[in-house]
Amino acid sequence: MSKPLESHWTAVVNGEQKHLEIAQTTRLVDVLRTHLQLTGTKVSCEVGRCGACMVLMDGEPVNSCLIMAYQCEGSDIMTIEGLQGDEKGTLHPIQQAFVEEGGFQCGYCTPGMVISTKALLDAHPEPSQEQIETGLCGNLCRCTGYGGIIRAVRKAGERCATKETSAQETVS
Amino acid sequence: MLLNRKQSGKRWHLRPDGAPKVTGQLQYLTDMTLPDMIHGRVLRSEYPYARILSIDTSEAEALEGVYAVLTSKDVPGLNRFGIATPDQPVFCEDIVRYVGDAIVAVAADSPERAALALDAIRVEYEEFTPLNSTDAALAPGAPELHEHGPGNVLHRTEIKRGDAEQAFATCDHIVTETYYTPRQMHAYMETEGGLFVPDEEGRLNVFAATQHGYKDRMQLARIIGCPEEDIRVVSSPIGGSFGGKDELNVQPYGALLALRCGRPVKMHNSRKESVRAGLKRHPMKIEMQTGMSREGIIQAHRVRITADTGAYATLGAPVLNFCTEHCLGPYAIPNVDVEGVSVYTNNGLSGEFRGFGGNQAIFAMEGQMDRLAAIMNMDPWEFRRRNMREKNDPGPLNQRILVTDGLSQVWEALDRSELWQKHQSSPADPTLPPWIKRGVGAAIAMHGAGLGYGIPDPAGGRLSLNNEGKIEVAFSYEEFGQGLVATLEIMLCDLFQCSTSDLSIIIGDTDRVPHSGSSTASRSTTMAWMALQRLQIPFRSRVLDVASEMSGVPADELVTGPGGIWRKGQLPAETSEVETDVQGTGKSEKEVTLALEGVKQTSAIGNESDQTAESYLGLSQHLVKESVSSGFVVSYAELATQGEADEWIFDTKFDYPTTPDNVVGGHYLYTYAAVAAEVEVNTLTGETKLLDTRHVVAAGPVINPMGYIGQIEGGSVMALGFTLTEDAVMQDSRYVTTNLDTYMIPTIQDIHTNLEVEAIEDLPEGDAFGPRGIGEIGSVALAPAITAAIHQATGVWVNRLPVPREQLVRPLNVPLQEGVSPS
């Protein structure tokens, strides 16, 4: 078997510059899970429907199963592991709201759901029900029936609205 | 009690697995890796039904980086598996019966190379015409898919009482209808997979999801041909199951490959492979004929159930038993004639799924009730009440069941509800365009818990004070998202008035837990509660006796509490591990700020300290000795140093309660639910939108409100999919809907955001069985409520799920223009 073409890939992942020798056709989800051991990003449908692999690429939510390494070369990638509260080792208000409201059960969709919520609240700090539905309709959850998730997003919205600046800091 | 966060007050308990889940730190078994691991893949059948003429693996074996290529010849023990009936081949030897059948497994140094190896395998088949329906499989002269016939019948059921034939002759009204239900997919977000690690002592460590680790261990030992003790199964945490991971899936292949290669093997099904090979809910055809007297009292009920069980048995027979039991509903019917048949076909694999055959039965029976009420021109809820079983009546199979008021309570609670009251007055809204129609419907159900009479259903558990001074419980249950660990925490804190930081909860590891049965059939909460009731007595007695010896304070003046033993009446004020306030106050926010430190992970496999369940525990916050006053006597840690370690361990074993009457599959404990639903139907597109629902559930005390709400909401939305959109469509026994882009589970845009849960917590005084499980009850009665609402909205009686949109589209009925062709 011939060796796949490898090349140099760089990107900023969760605020850290990463350099890898990988085939440029490697999917971002595999770069994250396999090469960087960031397994918070999950695989589930692998066709961009379920949102379990959602990450932020230059601040925009993307399904990392649909993004190839060459497409995110030099990008700023944020995964669930990059999200935290103001102080290191604490929960981001979104994460905290998910815990408090039971916005998860098995938890497998949760990282993607939290990332999509981050993108939603960055764009709409106080989202309407319609904006919540639009913002999260790319993330499937089979356990919660979405009730706890909606309550968590609303609560997180209230908190983020008052802590907007700190939320921004964690991205950069 | 209307169940929500506000009403729950101090019982709103934050899950110990919350922070690791929302931060992505929690390692699922499919996230695990080891540096020297290789990757397993399975070659599955090209055809739904064929004879294998030859298998040539030589090219695959010769590939660089391929470590093993296994076929049926490489199975040292039994080449079959199946929880109840082991008839599914690990590897097919001669005949393939569905597109998920495994023929070869390979292990290679990368997933890509394993895929190449599969491509290099040549299998020659003689293709047969698949039996793509139960009709085809039951047709005279149809080929028999299995030797254990007769024909293609897996199982038959029957309930006969009175004389239905004669009773129908005297009935004033008879409703005859045939109901069809879909092949629903579990669609757990984490597909099947895990890591299989042979260790230096010759043991095999299996890190793969299941709902019953011991059952997997037994089956794997049978396949490998080794003692069960040579296998350790670690089986939690799980990214969803809903019944779908109860059977072995990737485990036989991972295990055999790992043992052959002597290296860790990782398996992880793609979604497409998961769809192709995995279990589905049984599609059923249920023919019902129900007759009543002039007064609207049901006299006769005839039912014929045909279940498409697919290629192998799995739990097809118990599912049919359950469906048969539940197709009489909670009604007293004197003359009954029910027959069920579960039929082998080449249509995938049907098996266990949340609700276990109840969903199909209740949809059909409740549909009959609405049709009968309509004939009587009677309020459908009142019609149900007239026909409901009395409190002391026997169960559906004429078996003795535990008497509770659950049925009448859920009936009354729903009757009072604002949503159901809307049914009385036409919910037409003049502001809506004329093609938008609204309606309200309701349904009621009794649903059995536990495996039923005649099926071994062992339970038990272990309670100990471990050498770290933690109150430790161990069960063979699994955490697949339902919140079991949180529920156990609450139960233990209730029992011992201790803090969560005093606890160690062990589940999901056959090396560390006693055999206490499976996490299925809504049974874990009840079983854990019953076990703790038994175990707390000897445990408390020893703890207090030893504390008394150490302190000189009489044992009857001591109690357990946070951190250790206290003098009676001097326990510190109630601790604040349960969040006290909901919105806004700085205090509550501070209390629930969770530190991520101390979240142990499962990644260190092979390490002695690998303790999957303990990863849930690192989060216990604050508390303990800061508030210790003079009432504190001795800590659990100090107690644990006294005597021998095994003196602190208490075990119990018992069976899930069953009816004393000899009726196979008959249940003893039932939960009750009533559901109302309001829908909006667009008669131009046929789209139905669920607007509002109310679930009333009678299942005893609510232990864990967050978990309870989550299970009812989650079950309800799963049932919404069952009702409106979900169907794993097959064409010629091949899946057409192969992924989540065509198999439509509800999204956040499709759900009913008005979802109220009312919990009825009463149980008879002295009830020995405690809280009932609610894992399934939220999913069983929504479908008939929705179809009843659709009927009120449109006049259409729906008899098929998912609801066919074309049935709800109204002809335009535009007056024809003179001289213009209508075409």
Determine the pLDDT at residue B578.
Answer: 40
- Which pLDDT value is given to residue B75? 98
- Looking at the DSSP assignment, which residues form a beta bridge with residue B335? B300
Higher-pLDDT residue of B423 and A56 is: A56
DSSP 3-state assignment of B179? strand
- Interchain CB distance below 8 Å, A79 and B751: no
Under an 8 A CB cutoff, do B188 and A147 touch? no
Query: Left if phi > 0, otherwise alpha if psi is -120 to 50, otherwise beta: which for A51?
Result: left
- pLDDT of amino acid B812: 62
Q: Read off the tokens for B478.
A: 């699994």
Interface of B with A in 47-106 (CB under 8 A): 63-65
Q: Which of residues 98-137 of A touch B (CB under 8 A)?
A: 98-102, 104-111, 114, 129, 132-134, 136-137
Asked if B718 is an interface residue toward chain A (Cβ–Cβ < 8 A), one would say yes
pLDDT of residue B345: 98
Give just the sign of the alpha carbon dihedral B287, B292, B297, B301: negative
CA dist B450 and B457 (Å) reads 7
Whole-number Å distance between alpha carbons of A74 and A9: 8
Cα angle at B488 between B482 and B494, to 5 degrees?
135
Interchain pair B714, A143: CB under 8 A: yes
Mean pLDDT, residues A58-79: 98
Percent of chain A with pLDDT over 70: 91
The pLDDT tens digits of the residues spanning B165-182 come to 999 999 999 999 999 999
Q: Tokens 């949109």 label which residue? A: B805
Say whether pLDDT at A162 is over 70. Answer: yes
Listed in sequence order, the DSSP H helices in B39-110 are 58-62
| Phi, psi torsion values for B176, nearest 5 degrees | -120, 125
Q: If you average pLDDT over residues B789-806, what whole number do you get?
A: 96
Cα of A73 to nearest chain B Cα, Å: 23
Work out the percent of chain B whose per-residue pLDDT is above 70: 91
Instruction: Give me the interface pTM, i.e. the ipTM.
Output: 0.94
Rounded distance, CA B570 to CA B631, Å? 5
% of chain A surpassing 90 pLDDT: 87
Banded pLDDT at A3 (limits 50, 70, 90): low
Q: What is the pLDDT of residue B504?
A: 97
Closest CA to B102 of B83, B74, B126, B76: B74
- What part of A 27-66 touches B (C-beta under 8 Å)? 33, 37-50, 52
Question: How close does chain A come to B749, measured CA to CA in Å?
Answer: 5
Cβ distance B777 to B673 under 8 Å?
A: yes
Confidence label for B614 from pLDDT (cuts 50, 70 and 90)? very low
Q: Measured at the alpha carbon of residue B547, what is the angle toward residues B543 and B548, in degrees to the nearest 5?
A: 115
* Probe site for chain B from A142, A154, A160 (most B CB atoms < 10 A): A142
Closest of A27, A54, A22 to residue A40, by C-alpha: A54
Interface contact A14, partner B, CB < 8 A:
no
Quick check: B19 and A91 in contact, CB under 8 A?
yes
C-beta atoms of A107 and B741 within 8 A: no
Q: How far apart are CA B677 and CA B792, in angstroms?
A: 11
Nearest to B724 by CA among B182, B250, B68: B182
Helices (H), chain A: 28-30, 69-72, 93-101, 110-123, 129-136, 147-162, 164-171
Per-residue model confidence (pLDDT) at position B820: 63
Q: How many CA atoms lie within 13 A of B760 on its CB side?
A: 22
Instruction: Tell me which residue of A152, A161, A102 sits closest to A126, measured CA to CA.
Output: A161
pLDDT band at B586; cut points 50, 70, 90: very low
- What share of chain B has pLDDT > 90, as a percent? 86
Establish if B452 touches chain A: CB-CB under 8 angstroms.
no
Tell whether the model's pLDDT for residue B612 goes beyond 70.
no
* Cβ-based burial of B77 (10 A; exposed 0-12, middle 13-18, buried ≥19): middle
Residue B272 C-alpha from the chain's centroid: 22
Report the b/e string of B16-37 with b at 16+ CB within 10 A: bbbbbbbbbbbbbbbbbbeeeb
Q: Distance (Å, rounded) from C-alpha A154 to C-alpha A45?
A: 27
Q: CB-based contact (8 Å) between B586 and chain A? A: no
By Cβ distance, the residue of B17, B597, B713 closest to A89 is: B597
pLDDT over 50 at B602, yes or no: no
The rounded distance, in Å, linking the Cα atoms of B272 and B277 is: 9
Which residue does chain B place closest to A40, by CA atoms?
B24
CA dist B633 → A48, B538, B552, B627 (Å):
58, 20, 10, 13
Residue B453 structure tokens: 């009479």
**Residues of chain B found within 8 Å of residue A77, distances taken between Cβ atoms:** none
Do A95 and B190 lie within an 8 Å CB cutoff? no
pLDDT digits (tens, 9 = 90+) for B453-510: 888 889 999 999 999 999 999 999 999 999 999 999 999 999 999 999 999 999 999 9
CA distance B665 to B588: 48
Give the residue among A74, A69, A65, A60 at the shortest CA–CA distance from A44.
Answer: A65
Q: Does residue A92 register a pLDDT over 90?
A: yes
Q: Is A111–B24 a contact, with Cβ atoms under 8 angstroms apart?
A: yes
Supply the mean pLDDT for chain B.
Answer: 91
Residue B58 CB neighbours (<10 A): 10
Name which of A42, A61, A62, A169 is nearest A120 in CA terms.
A61
Residues B545, B549, B554, B559, CA torsion sign: negative
Q: What is the pLDDT of residues B506-552, one digit of tens each?
A: 999 999 999 998 888 889 999 999 999 999 999 999 999 999 999 99
| Chain-chain contact of A43 with B268 (C-beta, under 8 angstroms) | yes
Q: How many CB atoms lie within 10 A of CB B9?
A: 13
Burial class (CB in 10 A: 0-12, 13-18, 19+), B429: exposed
Q: Are B439 and B614 in contact (CB under 8 A)?
A: no
**Chain B contact for A93, CB < 8 A?**
no
d(CA B130, CA B101): 14
Long-range pairs for B807-815 at CB < 8 Å and ≥24 separation? B807/B686, B808/B681, B808/B683, B808/B686, B808/B687, B808/B688, B809/B683, B809/B684, B809/B685, B809/B686, B810/B435, B810/B683, B810/B684
Residue pair B472/B385 in contact (Cβ under 8 Å)? The answer is: no
Query: pLDDT band at A161, cuts 50/70/90?
Result: confident
Torsion, Cα of B255, B259, B262, B266 (10° steps) = -10
For residues B677 and B628, which has the higher predicted lDDT (pLDDT)?
A: B677
CA distance B471 to B463: 7
| DSSP result, B195-221 | EEEE-TTS-EEEEE--S-HHHHHHHHH
Structure confidence at residue B456 (pLDDT): 86
List all residues 6 or more positions away from A5 whose beta carbon is below 8 Å from its beta carbon: A23, A24
Average the pLDDT over A61-74 and give the result.
97
Query: Is the per-residue pLDDT at B597 higher than 60?
Result: no
Q: What angle do CA B245, B246, B248 make, to 5 degrees?
A: 80
Could you read off the pLDDT of B695-741 as tens digits, one per residue? 999 999 999 999 999 999 999 999 999 999 999 999 999 999 999 99
Q: Do B717 and A146 touch (CB under 8 A)?
A: yes
pLDDT value at residue A5: 56
Task: Return the top range by mean pLDDT from B371-385, B424-438, B571-585.
Answer: B371-385
Interface test with A, best of B15, B22, B271 (most A CBs within 10 A): B22
DSSP assignment of B355-388: TTTHHHHHHHHHHHHHHHHHHHT--HHHHHHHHB
DSSP state, residue B766: T
Those residues whose C-beta lies under 8 Å from the C-beta of residue B542, and which sit 6 or more positions away, are B647, B648, B650
Question: What is the DSSP pairing of strand B122-127 with strand B50-56?
Answer: antiparallel
Q: What's the CA gap between B685 and B436, in Å, rounded?
A: 10
B650-672 pLDDT, tens digit per residue, is 999 999 999 999 998 899 999 99
Query: Are the C-beta atoms of residues B677 and B789 closer than 8 Å to each other?
Result: yes
> B587 to chain A nearest CA, in Å?
14
Whether cis (ω within 30° of 0) applies to the bond prior to B334 is no
pTM for the structure as a whole: 0.93
- Please check the confidence at residue B605 and state whether its pLDDT lies above 80: no
Nearest-angstrom CA–CA distance, B798 and B147: 39
Residues in B closer than 8 angstroms to A111, CB to CB, are 22-24
* One-letter amino acid for residue B634 of the chain: V
Give the pLDDT confidence score for residue A6 in this predicted structure. Answer: 63
Q: How confident is the model at residue B619 (pLDDT cuts 50, 70, 90)?
A: very low
Which residues does chain B have within 8 Å of residue A134's beta carbon, measured at their own beta carbons? 749
Q: How many CB atoms lie within 10 A of CB B468?
A: 10
Per-residue model confidence as pLDDT tens digits over B63-115: 999 999 999 999 999 999 999 999 999 999 999 999 999 999 999 999 999 99
Neighbours of A128 (CB within 10 A): 10
Query: Which residues of chain B are within 8 Å of residue A150 when distances are taken between CB atoms?
Result: 748, 753
